[in-house]
Amino acid sequence: MNTSIETMTIDELRIQVCEANRALPASGLVRLTWGNVSGIDRASGLWGIKPSGVDYQALTPDDIVILDLAGRVIEGRLRPSSDTKTHLHLYHELPQIGGVTHTHSIHATTLCQAGRELPCLGTTHADHFHGTVPIVRALTEEEVASDYEHFTGVAIIERLSQLRLDPLEMPAVLQLHHAPFTFGKNAMDSLNNSIALEMCAQLALGCLALDPQLQPIPGHILEKHHLRKHGPGAYYGQKGA
Protein backbone atom coordinates (compact mmCIF):
# COMPACT_ATOMS: atom_id res chain seq x y z
CA MET A 1 0.00 0.00 0.00
CA ASN A 2 1.22 3.50 -0.79
CA THR A 3 1.18 5.22 2.59
CA SER A 4 1.38 8.64 0.95
CA ILE A 5 -2.25 8.33 -0.08
CA GLU A 6 -4.47 10.03 2.47
CA THR A 7 -6.99 8.17 4.59
CA MET A 8 -10.46 9.50 5.31
CA THR A 9 -13.85 8.67 6.74
CA ILE A 10 -16.74 7.74 4.45
CA ASP A 11 -18.28 11.18 5.02
CA GLU A 12 -15.00 12.85 4.05
CA LEU A 13 -14.78 10.62 0.98
CA ARG A 14 -18.33 11.52 -0.05
CA ILE A 15 -17.60 15.24 0.30
CA GLN A 16 -14.35 15.05 -1.64
CA VAL A 17 -15.85 13.06 -4.51
CA CYS A 18 -18.94 15.27 -4.60
CA GLU A 19 -16.87 18.46 -4.72
CA ALA A 20 -14.70 17.11 -7.55
CA ASN A 21 -17.76 16.14 -9.59
CA ARG A 22 -19.49 19.46 -8.93
CA ALA A 23 -16.35 21.22 -10.20
CA LEU A 24 -16.57 19.53 -13.60
CA PRO A 25 -18.90 22.04 -15.35
CA ALA A 26 -16.89 25.08 -14.20
CA SER A 27 -13.71 23.36 -15.39
CA GLY A 28 -15.05 23.43 -18.95
CA LEU A 29 -14.40 19.71 -19.34
CA VAL A 30 -17.97 18.46 -19.63
CA ARG A 31 -21.24 19.04 -21.42
CA LEU A 32 -24.52 17.55 -20.19
CA THR A 33 -23.44 14.74 -17.80
CA TRP A 34 -20.50 13.46 -19.88
CA GLY A 35 -18.01 12.86 -17.11
CA ASN A 36 -17.40 11.41 -13.69
CA VAL A 37 -14.88 11.49 -10.86
CA SER A 38 -14.21 8.85 -8.23
CA GLY A 39 -11.98 8.64 -5.17
CA ILE A 40 -10.82 5.84 -2.88
CA ASP A 41 -9.83 5.45 0.74
CA ARG A 42 -7.08 2.84 0.57
CA ALA A 43 -7.17 2.12 4.31
CA SER A 44 -10.74 0.81 4.16
CA GLY A 45 -10.81 -0.24 0.51
CA LEU A 46 -13.98 1.79 0.04
CA TRP A 47 -14.41 4.21 -2.82
CA GLY A 48 -17.03 6.63 -4.09
CA ILE A 49 -18.25 7.59 -7.54
CA LYS A 50 -20.84 9.88 -9.07
CA PRO A 51 -24.29 8.33 -9.63
CA SER A 52 -25.24 7.78 -13.26
CA GLY A 53 -26.86 10.65 -15.15
CA VAL A 54 -27.33 12.99 -12.17
CA ASP A 55 -26.88 16.71 -12.89
CA TYR A 56 -23.66 17.98 -11.33
CA GLN A 57 -25.20 21.05 -9.69
CA ALA A 58 -27.90 18.93 -8.06
CA LEU A 59 -25.33 16.51 -6.65
CA THR A 60 -24.93 16.25 -2.87
CA PRO A 61 -22.49 14.17 -0.80
CA ASP A 62 -25.34 11.82 0.11
CA ASP A 63 -25.79 11.03 -3.59
CA ILE A 64 -22.24 9.65 -3.96
CA VAL A 65 -22.33 5.85 -4.28
CA ILE A 66 -19.89 3.99 -2.00
CA LEU A 67 -18.52 0.65 -3.18
CA ASP A 68 -15.92 -1.87 -2.06
CA LEU A 69 -13.13 -3.35 -4.17
CA ALA A 70 -15.34 -6.29 -5.08
CA GLY A 71 -17.64 -3.82 -6.83
CA ARG A 72 -20.44 -4.19 -4.30
CA VAL A 73 -22.49 -1.13 -3.40
CA ILE A 74 -21.99 -0.50 0.33
CA GLU A 75 -23.96 2.72 0.64
CA GLY A 76 -26.07 4.74 -1.77
CA ARG A 77 -29.63 4.86 -3.05
CA LEU A 78 -28.74 5.68 -6.66
CA ARG A 79 -27.21 3.62 -9.44
CA PRO A 80 -23.46 4.30 -9.82
CA SER A 81 -21.86 5.68 -12.97
CA SER A 82 -21.96 3.50 -16.07
CA ASP A 83 -18.13 3.69 -16.00
CA THR A 84 -17.93 2.13 -12.54
CA LYS A 85 -16.26 -1.11 -13.68
CA THR A 86 -13.52 0.86 -15.44
CA HIS A 87 -12.73 2.83 -12.28
CA LEU A 88 -12.89 -0.38 -10.22
CA HIS A 89 -10.32 -2.16 -12.40
CA LEU A 90 -7.99 0.84 -12.28
CA TYR A 91 -8.15 0.89 -8.46
CA HIS A 92 -7.40 -2.84 -8.37
CA GLU A 93 -4.40 -2.61 -10.65
CA LEU A 94 -2.94 0.79 -9.71
CA PRO A 95 -2.43 0.90 -5.93
CA GLN A 96 -0.58 4.23 -6.27
CA ILE A 97 -3.69 6.16 -7.26
CA GLY A 98 -6.42 7.66 -5.11
CA GLY A 99 -8.68 9.21 -7.76
CA VAL A 100 -9.88 8.77 -11.34
CA THR A 101 -11.53 11.29 -13.67
CA HIS A 102 -13.19 10.51 -17.00
CA THR A 103 -14.51 13.24 -19.29
CA HIS A 104 -15.25 13.86 -22.96
CA SER A 105 -13.41 17.19 -23.07
CA ILE A 106 -13.24 18.59 -26.59
CA HIS A 107 -9.55 18.70 -27.43
CA ALA A 108 -8.41 15.57 -25.61
CA THR A 109 -11.34 13.64 -27.05
CA THR A 110 -10.45 14.93 -30.53
CA LEU A 111 -7.12 13.15 -30.15
CA CYS A 112 -8.87 10.00 -28.92
CA GLN A 113 -11.21 9.93 -31.91
CA ALA A 114 -8.35 10.59 -34.33
CA GLY A 115 -6.19 7.93 -32.71
CA ARG A 116 -3.38 10.41 -32.03
CA GLU A 117 -1.18 10.39 -28.97
CA LEU A 118 -0.36 13.69 -27.29
CA PRO A 119 3.34 14.58 -27.71
CA CYS A 120 5.11 16.78 -25.21
CA LEU A 121 5.71 19.98 -27.15
CA GLY A 122 6.44 22.36 -24.29
CA THR A 123 6.94 22.97 -20.60
CA THR A 124 3.23 23.29 -19.80
CA HIS A 125 2.87 19.63 -20.75
CA ALA A 126 6.14 18.58 -19.09
CA ASP A 127 5.01 20.07 -15.78
CA HIS A 128 2.17 17.54 -15.58
CA PHE A 129 2.94 14.58 -17.85
CA HIS A 130 6.30 12.83 -18.10
CA GLY A 131 6.42 12.59 -21.88
CA THR A 132 3.92 11.56 -24.53
CA VAL A 133 0.38 10.80 -23.34
CA PRO A 134 -0.37 7.40 -24.90
CA ILE A 135 -3.25 6.09 -26.95
CA VAL A 136 -4.98 2.98 -25.60
CA ARG A 137 -6.04 0.38 -28.16
CA ALA A 138 -9.63 -0.09 -29.26
CA LEU A 139 -11.59 -2.84 -27.58
CA THR A 140 -12.34 -5.98 -29.56
CA GLU A 141 -15.86 -6.98 -30.54
CA GLU A 142 -15.71 -9.78 -28.00
CA GLU A 143 -14.61 -7.43 -25.20
CA VAL A 144 -17.39 -4.96 -25.96
CA ALA A 145 -19.99 -7.73 -25.97
CA SER A 146 -18.64 -9.40 -22.84
CA ASP A 147 -18.10 -6.46 -20.45
CA TYR A 148 -17.36 -3.14 -22.14
CA GLU A 149 -16.54 -1.04 -19.09
CA HIS A 150 -14.38 -3.69 -17.42
CA PHE A 151 -12.34 -4.27 -20.57
CA THR A 152 -11.89 -0.53 -21.00
CA GLY A 153 -9.99 -0.69 -17.72
CA VAL A 154 -8.13 -3.81 -18.85
CA ALA A 155 -6.96 -2.07 -22.04
CA ILE A 156 -5.76 0.97 -20.06
CA ILE A 157 -3.73 -1.19 -17.67
CA GLU A 158 -2.35 -3.17 -20.60
CA ARG A 159 -1.07 0.01 -22.26
CA LEU A 160 0.47 1.44 -19.09
CA SER A 161 2.19 -1.91 -18.51
CA GLN A 162 3.48 -2.14 -22.08
CA LEU A 163 5.08 1.29 -21.77
CA ARG A 164 6.17 0.73 -18.14
CA LEU A 165 4.51 3.96 -17.07
CA ASP A 166 3.94 5.06 -13.50
CA PRO A 167 0.34 6.38 -13.34
CA LEU A 168 1.42 9.29 -11.15
CA GLU A 169 4.20 10.23 -13.57
CA MET A 170 1.90 9.73 -16.57
CA PRO A 171 -1.52 10.37 -15.02
CA ALA A 172 -3.49 10.29 -18.28
CA VAL A 173 -4.36 8.06 -21.21
CA LEU A 174 -6.34 8.61 -24.41
CA GLN A 175 -8.81 5.80 -25.13
CA LEU A 176 -9.09 5.21 -28.88
CA HIS A 177 -12.60 6.00 -30.23
CA HIS A 178 -13.67 7.02 -26.74
CA ALA A 179 -12.24 9.73 -24.44
CA PRO A 180 -9.54 10.45 -21.86
CA PHE A 181 -9.04 9.04 -18.37
CA THR A 182 -6.80 10.69 -15.78
CA PHE A 183 -5.48 9.55 -12.38
CA GLY A 184 -4.31 11.31 -9.26
CA LYS A 185 -3.47 11.06 -5.58
CA ASN A 186 -7.12 11.76 -4.79
CA ALA A 187 -10.31 12.72 -6.58
CA MET A 188 -9.50 16.43 -6.94
CA ASP A 189 -5.95 15.70 -8.05
CA SER A 190 -7.26 13.47 -10.84
CA LEU A 191 -9.63 16.29 -11.89
CA ASN A 192 -6.74 18.76 -11.98
CA ASN A 193 -4.87 16.35 -14.24
CA SER A 194 -7.87 16.30 -16.58
CA ILE A 195 -7.83 20.10 -16.70
CA ALA A 196 -4.10 20.05 -17.49
CA LEU A 197 -4.60 17.35 -20.14
CA GLU A 198 -7.29 19.34 -21.91
CA MET A 199 -5.16 22.49 -21.96
CA CYS A 200 -2.13 20.56 -23.26
CA ALA A 201 -4.25 18.92 -25.95
CA GLN A 202 -5.60 22.31 -27.06
CA LEU A 203 -2.09 23.78 -27.18
CA ALA A 204 -0.75 20.80 -29.14
CA LEU A 205 -3.54 20.89 -31.72
CA GLY A 206 -2.92 24.61 -32.24
CA CYS A 207 0.85 24.14 -32.54
CA LEU A 208 0.54 21.22 -34.95
CA ALA A 209 -1.89 23.23 -37.09
CA LEU A 210 0.78 25.92 -37.38
CA ASP A 211 3.57 23.40 -38.01
CA PRO A 212 2.60 19.77 -38.71
CA GLN A 213 6.30 18.81 -38.55
CA LEU A 214 6.83 20.30 -35.10
CA GLN A 215 9.14 18.16 -32.95
CA PRO A 216 8.72 17.38 -29.25
CA ILE A 217 10.42 19.44 -26.55
CA PRO A 218 14.12 18.58 -26.03
CA GLY A 219 14.49 15.83 -23.46
CA HIS A 220 16.66 17.79 -21.05
CA ILE A 221 14.03 20.55 -20.79
CA LEU A 222 11.23 18.02 -20.36
CA GLU A 223 13.12 16.31 -17.53
CA LYS A 224 13.96 19.59 -15.79
CA HIS A 225 10.37 20.82 -15.78
CA HIS A 226 8.84 17.51 -14.77
CA LEU A 227 11.30 16.66 -12.03
CA ARG A 228 11.30 20.11 -10.42
CA LYS A 229 7.64 19.44 -9.60
CA HIS A 230 7.56 15.65 -9.23
CA GLY A 231 11.06 14.29 -8.64
CA PRO A 232 12.73 13.40 -5.32
CA GLY A 233 14.41 16.81 -5.37
CA ALA A 234 11.26 18.72 -6.35
CA TYR A 235 11.33 22.36 -5.34
CA TYR A 236 8.13 23.77 -6.89
CA GLY A 237 5.54 24.98 -4.38
CA GLN A 238 5.71 24.95 -0.59
CA LYS A 239 6.78 22.16 1.74
CA GLY A 240 3.83 20.17 3.04
CA ALA A 241 1.43 21.80 0.55
Q: Which of 127, 148, 166, 211 is catalytic?
A: 127
Instruction: Note if 127 is an active site residue.
Output: yes
Question: What is the gyration radius of the CA atoms in the chain, in angstroms?
Answer: 17
d(CA 117, CA 102): 17
Cα–Cα distances in angstroms (integers) from residue 191 to residues 47, 78, 116, in the given order: 16, 22, 22
Q: Which of 11, 62, 68, 236 is catalytic?
A: 236
Exposure class string for 44-66: b at 16+ Cβ within 10 A, else e: bebbbbbbeebebeebebebbbb
Instruction: Please give the positions annotated as active site.
Output: 127, 236
